[in-house]
Amino acid sequence: MTGDRPTVPPVRLPSDAELARDALAAPLLARAVRLARWAGPGTRVGAGGELVDEQLPEAAKVLGLVDEESREDGEAYASEAWRVAVDTGLVTVEDDEDGDTEDGADDGTTGRVTAGEQLALLTSGSPQDVLGIWLDALDVVFADATAPVLDDLAAAIGEDGEIDFESLDWDPESEAEFLEGVLGNLYLLTVADGGGAGDGASGPVPLPVLAASMIVPDDMGEPTDDVLEQVSEAMMRLDDQFRLLEPVGLVSYVPVDEALMEEDAGGAADASLPVGEEDVARYGMVRLTPLGLYGIRSRMLEAGVDAPAVGDLAAKDAHALLDGVAHFPELSARAETEQWLARRAPADAAGELLAAARGTDQRAPLRRLHCQQALSLLGAEAESAVRDVLDDPELGGLARVWLAELGARDVPPPPEPMIFWLAIDTIAAQLDAEGEPEELQELVEGLVGRHGGFFDAAWRIDHPATAEVLEAMGRLHRDRGVSKEARKAAFKARSRA
């Protein structure tokens, strides 16, 4: 009975203003901004816009990275931050083919540096402007993360000093696709249960789990040694990549314990997970930050993936809300509904919801279920709108349930056909939402137990899903006699239709 469902569950994100603050606080972008404000016409760059070697110590000093014991690391961080500043438009490098100093000497530089247009947006632009710059920075880091490792590059440099890319065991498209897939799986694991940036409910994911999610086939029982070796190799590659992605604010990452490489004679970690939590953490743990959720969702949307966010439906009509939250996780559906209700007066909201819940189409039962759940968030201000539908054959049953839960007086008892119609409608909605879980089995058995002769009355109910519901009840009920009775009632309902 299920219709089309979003391929990705909805994510709960902080406001754009909060995300923009996180973006500006990301270490890599913060360093790029500091270098952009330090740079000027006297800054010397090479043919590719990179800082010349002689400028790197000063750039590292500007960033506070002047520890003599890690001088090379400081200069590497400065070089990386400068590249981000150039590629995101925080600085502009203009060609200066002469490369001459004021006294006419050639200093080997080929560009002049000025402040980029994007730099001003960090202070005068909107949060969306800031996030756009951060997404550009993420693109730069993603490209670095999928580039060949330095050891491979060194071995591929020929006598002419040029890199022989064909000799590398490196396919840029497959590398990018693999990392995109890993980040997509991490996103799914984060939002699958209604988690995300809004509640911090999602914990870190072990690196072996992510690697295995990309390599181990779903139908494989015990992984073979060859598959485990592939997982182990992928783990070590991902360890390098997440170390690069953390400074841009995409992830929070606990790296693989370097002692594992020393313990393993082959130089790669064992891909099988140990029992203890502390041991699991040694294999790397990664979590998407709220900014990371925003970034991966943006990349998904750009690739054409349906990746909804809570709040997308707040300005739409009630029909769009009830259809949109149909297969949201419970927490996300409630959060989306609360945002929708916050924009409307209770009586108006109730009237819109009830009108949208009508219908005989396949999705209508689930709309009515979510309408009932939305109404449960409203108080007595909605009572008049709910009483208006007491005589409606499709809505009268749920209206009585709502009024009874409210403690309202003078609620007329439902006619018997309405009781059975509501039962069929409720089970149809549950089948659409969740298939046939154990909870639905208990509902079915309790319903049949409370109403003697349930099936004799139910097959006569004029509901589009009557036969299908009765067949499902026959599958769900554990009593063989009752199951047979349900199947007979389903046959009668189909014959009647």
**Residue 156 falls inside a structural domain:** no
The mean pLDDT value of the chain amounts to: 86
- Burial class (CB within 10 angstroms; exposed 0-12, middle 13-18, buried 19+) of 235: buried
**For the chain, percent of residues with pLDDT exceeding 90:** 61
Same domain, 481 and 437: yes
pLDDT, mean of residues 162-185: 79
Give the number of domains in the chain: 4
Instruction: Tell me the C-alpha distance between 182 and 208, whole Å.
Output: 11
Instruction: Tell me the C-alpha distance between 142 and 136, whole Å.
Output: 10
Instruction: Tell me the C-alpha distance between 278 and 274, whole Å.
Output: 9
**Residue 140 falls inside a structural domain:** no
For residue 113, the surrounding DSSP H or E stretch is strand 111-115
Higher pLDDT, 372 or 451: 372
Instruction: Tell me the C-alpha distance between 103 and 105, whole Å.
Output: 6
Same domain, 196 and 243: yes
Same domain, 297 and 176: yes
Q: Which of 110, 125, 140 is the last residue of a domain?
A: 125
pLDDT score, position 167:
58
**For the chain, percent of residues with pLDDT exceeding 70:** 84
Lowest model confidence (mean pLDDT) among 101-105, 363-367, 395-399: 101-105
pLDDT(272) > 50: no
Q: How far is Cα of residue 343 from the mean position of the Cα atoms in its chain?
A: 25
**Residue 476 falls inside a structural domain:** yes
Tell how strand 91-95 and strand 285-288 pair up.
Answer: unpaired
Higher pLDDT, 442 or 486: 486
Same domain, 370 and 262: no
**Residue 41 falls inside a structural domain:** yes
pLDDT(64) > 80: yes
Same domain, 223 and 279: yes
pLDDT score, position 141:
97
pLDDT score, position 452:
76
Lowest model confidence (mean pLDDT) among 54-58, 215-219, 349-353, 361-365: 215-219
Q: Which of 255, 275, 302 is the last residue of a domain?
A: 302
Instruction: Tell me the C-alpha distance between 288 and 50, whole Å.
Output: 30
Instruction: Tell me the C-alpha distance between 289 and 159, whole Å.
Output: 44
Residue of 51, 109, 52, 110 lying closest to 81 (CA atoms): 51
Collapsing DSSP states into helix, strand and coil, what is residue 266? coil
Q: How far is Cα of residue 438 from the mean position of the Cα atoms in its chain?
A: 28
Residue 200 — pLDDT band, cuts 50, 70, 90? very low
Same domain, 430 and 383: no
**Residue 8 falls inside a structural domain:** no
pLDDT score, position 265:
45
Cβ-defined contacts of 466-471 (< 8 Å, 24+)? 466/424, 466/493, 466/497, 467/493, 467/494, 467/497, 468/1, 468/428, 468/431, 469/424, 469/427, 469/428, 469/431
pLDDT score, position 148:
75
pLDDT score, position 159:
59
434 within 8 A of 428, measured Cβ to Cβ: no
Question: Which residues are paired to 106 by β-bridges?
Answer: 100
Lowest model confidence (mean pLDDT) among 27-41, 211-225, 302-316, 362-376: 211-225
Same domain, 404 and 431: no
pLDDT score, position 268:
45
pLDDT(486) > 50: yes
Higher pLDDT, 488 or 203: 488
pLDDT(104) > 50: no
Same domain, 64 and 21: yes
pLDDT score, position 349:
97
Residue 150 — pLDDT band, cuts 50, 70, 90? low
**Residue 3 falls inside a structural domain:** no
Same domain, 381 and 483: no
pLDDT, mean of residues 78-92: 95
pLDDT(468) > 50: yes
pTM of the shown model: 0.81
State both tokens at 436.
């046939």
Same domain, 231 and 294: yes
pLDDT score, position 259:
77
Residue 246 — pLDDT band, cuts 50, 70, 90? very high
Residue 96 — pLDDT band, cuts 50, 70, 90? low
State both tokens at 492.
């009668």
pLDDT, mean of residues 290-300: 96
Length in residues, the chain: 497
Collapsing DSSP states into helix, strand and coil, what is residue 94? strand
pLDDT(9) > 50: yes
**Highest mean pLDDT: which range of 36-50, 69-83, 343-357:** 343-357
Q: Which of 68, 99, 125 is the last residue of a domain?
A: 125
Residue 238 — pLDDT band, cuts 50, 70, 90? very high
Collapsing DSSP states into helix, strand and coil, what is residue 114? strand
**One-character DSSP codes across 197-226:** TTT-----EEHHHHHHHHHS-TT-SSPPHH
pLDDT(105) > 60: no
Same domain, 204 and 293: yes
pLDDT score, position 222:
79
Same domain, 178 and 264: yes
pLDDT, mean of residues 289-318: 95
**Residue 490 falls inside a structural domain:** yes
**Residue 67 falls inside a structural domain:** yes
Q: Which domain holds residue 364?
A: 318-414
